[in-house]
Structure 1
Amino acid sequence: MNIKSLIAALLILPAAFALAETPQEAAVKKLVEPRLNEGTKVDSVTKTPYAGLFEVRVGSDVIYTDEKAQYLFIGNVIDARNSKNYTKIRVDELSRVKFADLPLESALKTVRGNGKRVIAIFEDPNCGYCKRFRKTLQDVDNITVYTFMYNILAEDSSIKSRNIWCTADRNKAWDDWMLNGKAAATAAPSCDTPNEKIFELGKKLRVSGTPTVFFADGSRLPGAVDVKGLEDKFSSLK
């Protein structure tokens, strides 16, 4: 393995397989944590192979500091020779989820064609970009879509989601609302929903906006991507 390949491998090394923290990294962690926002917990500090910087990881967020933690560097580290964004590679790796662990029984399920390509989406019923993406999905075949109703945008989002969840045909009710603006009937008081469970799940997965799409490999794609962008992403998974 050449030096360039080694550096790339180190940068995308999953946290679960990272090397044990060195005394120097532990010392930097001790210095930098009090200098961040009050209450911020640093998950790890790792010395990078470039410029003497140390990666400071807080959840799936990454910043950089020097060995004395005197300076904080917030932004992307990009290889000037090939434009590779090492920070994005690292953050994408940290943001991955285990798709099999998602509570798919608490999602709406739609299958189109052979359904071999699988995604899970976090959407809010008041999200305009979600409605745009829902229309995009109408032009995508051979896909299984799990939709988690993630109520973060308005006070009545949870009410709309509850009414949809409690209908006889949830998928039709969701499409009626998202595609045609036809609201579902008011749900009976006795109907239980997974609203709170999905809200907590979204927070745990650090879903900060809708739509957010998760793919079978655990990677995520935020925003209302178009058909080409979605197809390109599927192709990259092969």
Structure 2
Amino acid sequence: MKTWLSLLSFGLLSMSMAHADIQKLQQNLKTNFPDMPAKSVNSTPVKDIYEVFMGGRIVYTNDEGRYFFVGSLIDLPAQKNLTEERTQVLSAIDVKQLPLKQAIKQVKGKGERVIYLFSDPDCPYCHKLEAELAKIDNLTIYLFMFPLTSLHPEAERISRQVWCSKKPYQTWTDYTLNKKQPTGKDSCTNPIQDNIALAEKLEITGTPTLFLQDGSRIPGGMSAEDLEKRLAEIKK
């Protein structure tokens, strides 16, 4: 009985100390980086090293919060990228909160599987993703046009023209896949500025960025084969 109580007491003491260290780190981060708030601070399997999620990415530090490690934390025996796994958890969103009225909806086949895509009409990687999406059936796409005007000065105008067209998704794919310039007006009421604000709120810093039905985030392009695997995993 004494041994059991001793182990329990030690465990509670260890948890209390770890929590105290996290609180110390949180305070140090607020003091050292008041303009860059941490969304979460958690312990890691490495003693005295903590995971900090800030600016849409994971970094590692000790309780001083002064020096940081940037990169992947790997569990080599288990062959797991712990940083990647945690990033998927921490960067996920509640897709039910997305304002779908700001998106172009396209249903392919039965449309049983759903993705939410933030994309720039002049982004080369977005064009590559569109070519991959063209290979996938039984899919509903909610396309949030998100022009990165600092990189692509004409992207906002093109996005407005796509939205204002009679067949927005067809106009989108005609442009992104076939280089066919939109010819319609760009002066109708449109959600492009709202989409830019939404992307900033969701800490989307590049295009394309995908969200799946479970809220998981996929930054960058993905092959049709890999996306099919991810979609199948969600259905399980």
TM-score of the pair, normalised by structure 2:
0.84
1:157-192 deviation digits (Å, cap 9, x = unpaired):
110011111111112211221121111224163x11
Supply the distance in 2 between the matched residues of 1:70 and 1:110 (Cα, whole angstroms): 47
Look up the match of 1:30. 27
Look up the match of 1:53. 49
1:172-219 deviation digits (Å, cap 9, x = unpaired):
211221121111224163x11101100011111111111111110101
Q: What residue identity is the alignment partner of 2:171? A: A
Q: Which runs of 5+ in 2 are unaligned?
A: 1-15
Q: What residue identity is the alignment partner of 2:128? A: R
Correspondence list, 1:116-135, <5 A: 116-135=112-131
Query: 1:55 offset after TM fit, Å?
Result: 2.0
* Aligned-partner SS, 1:22: helix
Supply the distance in 2 between the matched residues of 1:235 and 1:165 (Cα, whole angstroms): 31
Instruction: Pick closer, same or farther for the CA change 1:177–1:34 going to 2, 3 Å.
Output: same
Look up the match of 1:111. 107
Look up the match of 1:232. 229
Supply the distance in 2 between the matched residues of 1:188 and 1:212 (Cα, whole angstroms): 24
How many matched pairs? 217
Look up the match of 1:196. 193
Supply the distance in 2 between the matched residues of 1:188 and 1:90 (Cα, whole angstroms): 41
1:72-112 deviation digits (Å, cap 9, x = unpaired):
22222111211211111111101101111111111111111
Supply the distance in 2 between the matched residues of 1:97 and 1:34 (Cα, whole angstroms): 28
Q: What residue identity is the alignment partner of 1:198? A: N
Supply the distance in 2 between the matched residues of 1:98 and 1:188 (Cα, whole angstroms): 31
Higher helix share: 2
1:3-25 deviation digits (Å, cap 9, x = unpaired):
xxxxxxxxxxxxxxxx9x93332
Look up the match of 2:154. 156
Correspondence list, 1:67-78, <5 A: 67-69=63-65, 71-78=67-74
1:85 corresponds to which of 71, 81, 86? 81
Supply the distance in 1 between the matched residues of 2:157 and 2:170 (Cα, whole angstroms): 17
Identity of aligned residues (%): 34
1:44-71 deviation digits (Å, cap 9, x = unpaired):
3333342221222325422222234453
Instruction: Pick closer, same or farther for the CA change 1:202–1:214 going to 2, 3 Å.
Output: same
Instruction: Pick closer, same or farther for the CA change 1:224–1:62 going to 2, 3 Å.
Output: closer
Query: 1:35 offset after TM fit, Å?
Result: 3.9
Q: Does 2:193 correspond to 1:170? A: no
Q: Which runs of 5+ in 1 are unaligned?
A: 1-18
TM-score of the pair, normalised by structure 1:
0.83
